[in-house]
Amino acid sequence: MLRALLYGLAILHLGPGIAFAVLAFGCDPSQQWLGVVCQKDTLKTFLGLTLVLWVVLGVGAAVLLRWRRRGAERAAAAKAIMSGDRTT
């Protein structure tokens, strides 16, 4: 439960942080990497980037957790098979 809370808090804080960094460094007047995005309303762009990053980070966390669980299940199954082979 605590781990899920920490993952949620990390995602909620990283989304706006990354969006801010993208806007701050991508919309630099001397070198605009984002081009057309920088010409739009800054607040709307920031909110849109934040929402997209929340979704990406949430999906990424879910995939990572599922991948770790499968790895743990496979390791447990392999351990059971190995211990079964040793006793016979």
* Helical packing angle, 2-26 and 42-87, nearest 10°: 140
**Cα(40)–Cα(31) distance, rounded to whole angstroms?**
16
Q: Which pLDDT belongs to residue 60?
A: 92
Predicted confidence (pLDDT) at residue 88 exceeds the cutoff of 80: no
pTM (global) more than 0.85: no
Tokens matching residue 6: 């920490």
Q: Where are the domains of the chain?
A: 2-87
Integer angstrom CA distances of residue 49 from 42, 44, 55, 74: 10, 8, 10, 37
What is the distance between the alpha carbons of residues 16 and 54, in angstroms, rounded to a whole number?
8
pLDDT per residue as tens digits for the range 32-77: 677 777 777 888 989 999 999 999 999 999 999 888 888 878 888 8
